[in-house]
């Protein structure tokens, strides 16, 4: 859900949903562009209608070998014109985390069909 006023967040307490607070996102984007102007092109692409988007895809969507590290995953996904950002695990790690963005490139993945690859792609 998108909130334009952060004071309204208590209206959604107890509901299982994600909240985006637009003014906060806009201020962070402006700060990033002010600090690093080269990021504007990337952010324009991400926030433009019909531009690139982040998707969660099943490992079966790619021709991955049975045993692969993140570097192999990056190359396989890149061959499809996409960028591998990380992995969402169906089972959390020892710290309770499901999402691993930019994991070590030499880390073997042991993916199962319930896991998801986080990729940047054109829809």
What span, in angstroms and rounded, lies between the C-alpha atoms of 7 and 21? 10
Identify the pLDDT of residue 114: 95
What parts of the chain have a pLDDT lower than 50? none
Identify the pLDDT of residue 42: 83
Identify the pLDDT of residue 12: 65
Cβ count within 10 A of residue 45: 14
């Amino acid at each position: 859900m998108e909130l334009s006023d952060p004071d309204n967040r208590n209206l959604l307490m107890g509901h299982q949903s994600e909240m985006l607070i637009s003014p906060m996102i806009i201020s962070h984007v402006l700060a990033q562009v002010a600090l690093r102007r080269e990021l504007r092109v990337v952010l324009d692409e991400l926030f433009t209608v019909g531009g690139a988007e982040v998707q969660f895809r099943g490992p079966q969507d790619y021709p991955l070998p049975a045993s692969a590290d993140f570097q192999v995953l990056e190359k396989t996904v890149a061959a499809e014109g996409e960028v591998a950002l990380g992995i969402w695990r169906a089972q959390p790690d020892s710290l309770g985390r499901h999402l691993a963005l930019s994991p070590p490139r030499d880390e073997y993945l042991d993916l199962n069909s319930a896991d998801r690859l986080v990729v940047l792609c054109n829809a």
